Amino acid sequence: MKTNSSSTRRQFLQTSGLAAAPFILPSRVWAAKGDQAPNSRISVAVIGPGKMGRGHVHRLLRNPETQVAGFAEVAKVRSDHTKELIEGYYAKNTPAGKWKGLTVTADYRELLALDHVDAVLIATPDHWHGEPTILAARAGKHVYCEKPISLTIAEGRRMVEAVKKHKVAFQTGSQQRSEYGGKFRRTVEMVRGGAIGKLKKIQVCVGGPPKPCNLPTQTVPEGIDWDAWQGPAPTRGYNKELCPDNVHNHFPRWRAYTEYCNGYLADMGAHHFDIGQWGMDADHTGPVKVIPPKEGEKGLKLIYANGIEVEHGSLPDWRGGTVFYGTEGTIWVDRGPWKSDPADLIKDFKSTVSLRQPKNHHQDWLDCIRNGKQPIAHVEAGHRTASLCQLANIGYALRRELDWNPKTESFPNDKEAQALTDRARRKQWYRV
């Protein structure tokens, strides 16, 4: 799908900040002081402008370095709303008061075929992350994909291979690495720098594994392509808890069900396991052993080759987040609370480790599109974090100790466990 013209445009963006071919808008409509000319903007298409996707749309619209060129949505009510939002914003912010050029479709592949689209942002339900990422990479489009990036370990590896082969900039939506006042970055710097002594244990306080979907079947509302929403997932009846029939401002319940995701364990776990991985400097590896509890949905342990234990658990006085335990102290970090023992540690410790601090997560991705460097939540990091959540779910499913080879990403001599590293998909909706 990659064309010579799209390849040339990509090279120009990286080397000169200029586009190789005429862009959507003529220069005269971008006359505001300090605004970037349209030919230097990175053209982004959004796949899935739901609750999370609309937030991304708002941020892309306000960024002078980007132009939203189109989007893909299977529900007409959300499609109409998003079209009005984007066209209204650009009309309001152009001297002419008019704007045209938005591509609206229910099939995201139409976006990938557009030469003027440089990148895609994927904010679909989790079961729709794999194929769009792989096809986007093949088309030479840079990718920002919401976390967790994959539904299975095997799918995640295929995504990594596609991104690396086609040399596109991939950012996982793990914005804790870039934002929240730098508290997560600072925590990682302190852990790596010895603030708590030798790291012994990490506790990730998030929800539990998924369950099979048991929602009752409802009548499919007019304007929703329910078969397309299901895509590669197993066929079942419509329920508005999965795909709301309106422009919603809540997170739909597909996050709870095995068919579409890895449960609430992965929903926030993809954020907080990620901070644990980052703190261990383990973005390219994983545990060697999975030890589930005999019962219950908390208490599973992931053991690394260096002896560090990552526990999926909870604390009675701690809402969520990541806890680092060392021989000389402890650090708790979440989006709200941040504390340590000794209490003054996070205030006074001067770490010898210094990690870069992006302006924000989107900007880090955009900068890497231009300079050819690796985003802070690169595809391998996103995959390794997602695989922790997937390994945990496999452990909870089998309820026995498992050996894991993080290099080959396999369970040695365990066919039952290995079979759970991937799953069957509806072939008409999984075309990679």
Judged against a pLDDT cut of 50, whether residue 140 lies above it is answered with: yes
Average pLDDT (329-352) is 95
- Express each pLDDT in 116-126 by its tens digit: 999 999 999 99
Considering only CA atoms, which of 257, 207, 242, 251 is closest in space to residue 392? 207
Reading the block at residue 141, the tokens are 């489009």
Average pLDDT over every residue of 285-290? 98
For the domain with range 4-176, which CATH number is right: 3.40.50.720, 3.30.70.2740, 3.10.50.40, 3.40.50.300? 3.40.50.720
Judged by average pLDDT, the poorest of 38-47, 96-105, 257-266, 314-323 is: 96-105
Mean pLDDT across the chain, nearest whole number? 91
For residue 15, is pLDDT > 90?
A: no
Residue 101's pLDDT is what? 82
Of the chain, the percentage scoring pLDDT greater than 90 comes to: 86
Q: pTM score, two decimals?
A: 0.92
Over residues 331-345, mean pLDDT: 95
Task: Tell me what the mean pLDDT of segment 63-89 comes to.
Answer: 97
**What pLDDT sits at residue 315?**
82
Mean pLDDT within 386-409:
98
- Does the pLDDT at position 177 exceed 80? yes
- 177-209+265-429 maps to which CATH number? 3.30.360.10
Contact by Cβ (8 Å): 40, 19? yes
Kind and range of the H or E element at 105? strand 103-105
Rounded mean pLDDT, 158-169: 98
**Nearest CA-CA partner of 348 in 176, 190, 180, 182:** 190
- Give kind and range of the element (H or E) at residue 300: none
What average pLDDT score do residues 182-210 get?
A: 97
CB 209 within 8 A of CB 293: no
Confidence bin at 39 (pLDDT 50/70/90):
low
**DSSP per-residue codes, 108-165:** THHHHT-TT--EEEE-S-GGGSHHHHHHHHHTT-EEEEPSS--SSHHHHHHHHHHHHH
- Could you give the CA distance from residue 183 to residue 295 in angstroms, rounded to a whole number? 34
377 or 38: whose pLDDT is higher?
377
What's the pLDDT at 129?
Answer: 98
- Banded pLDDT at 17 (limits 50, 70, 90): very low
Question: Where do the structural domains in the chain lie, given as residue ranges?
Answer: 4-176, 177-209+265-429
Report pLDDT for 316: 77
21 has a pLDDT exceeding 80: no
Q: Report d(CA 387, CA 382) in Å as an integer.
A: 9
* Contact call for residues 191 and 331 (beta carbons, < 8 A): yes
340's enclosing H/E stretch is strand 338-341
